[in-house]
Amino acid sequence: MNILVSACLVGIGCKYNCEIKEYPNITALLDRHTVIPVCPEQLGGLPTPRKPLEIKGNNVVDSSGEIHTQEFEKGANEVLKIAKMVGAQLVVLKSNSPSCGIGKIYDGTFSSTLIDGNGITANLLKKNGFTLKTEKDI
């Protein structure tokens, strides 16, 4: 199966603070499937490291209030292109992220408060009919 995954779930240092965390349940997919790692925030042109970002209303802002919605939309479109190109049968995305979160995201106050909603990339992939799961569902 071709599985698109958030790159930070398979050991790529693309998280905003460059921290690498292990997700053994996701790396185990590498043994049996073709796994394609993508980071929409990097594909949208944001640097790593970068300030933490959250969705606030209709925009994505960093912790100093700077708006980065355009980079998020570009990244989402690039990921959609890759998902179509490889014929992704499943997409596994990092929970709670403003790009990758499915169902729950942070509320834009940078206080670790979760609200209902999808990240920008997750939303676009969902609208295009891809099957989405978080790392917690695998």
Name the site residues for ligand SF4 (rule: CB under 6 A): 6-8, 14-15, 39-41, 94, 97, 99-100
Q: What's the closest the beta carbon of residue 57 comes to ligand SF4, in angstroms?
A: 20
Closest CA to 73 of 18, 119, 133, 14: 119
| β-pair type (53-56, 132-134) | unpaired
Beta carbons of 3 and 20 less than 8 angstroms apart: no
Q: What's the closest the beta carbon of residue 53 comes to ligand SF4, in angstroms?
A: 9
Query: Which residue number, 15 or 68, has a Cβ lying nearer to ligand SF4?
Result: 15
Query: Which residue number, 19 or 31, has a Cβ lying nearer to ligand SF4?
Result: 19
Q: What's the closest the beta carbon of residue 74 comes to ligand SF4, in angstroms?
A: 12
- Cα separation, 121 vs 94, in Å, equals 11
Q: What's the closest the beta carbon of residue 63 comes to ligand SF4, in angstroms?
A: 15
Instruction: Specify the DSSP class assigned to residue 18.
Output: -
Query: Which residue number, 29 or 100, has a Cβ lying nearer to ligand SF4?
Result: 100
Helix (H, G, I), strand (E, B) or coil at 30: helix
Query: Which residue number, 23 or 65, has a Cβ lying nearer to ligand SF4?
Result: 23
Buried b (16+ CB within 10 A) or exposed e, 27-63: eebeeeeebbbbbbbbbbebeeebbebbbbeeebbbe
Query: Which residue number, 8 or 36, has a Cβ lying nearer to ligand SF4?
Result: 8
Q: What's the closest the beta carbon of residue 84 comes to ligand SF4, in angstroms?
A: 18
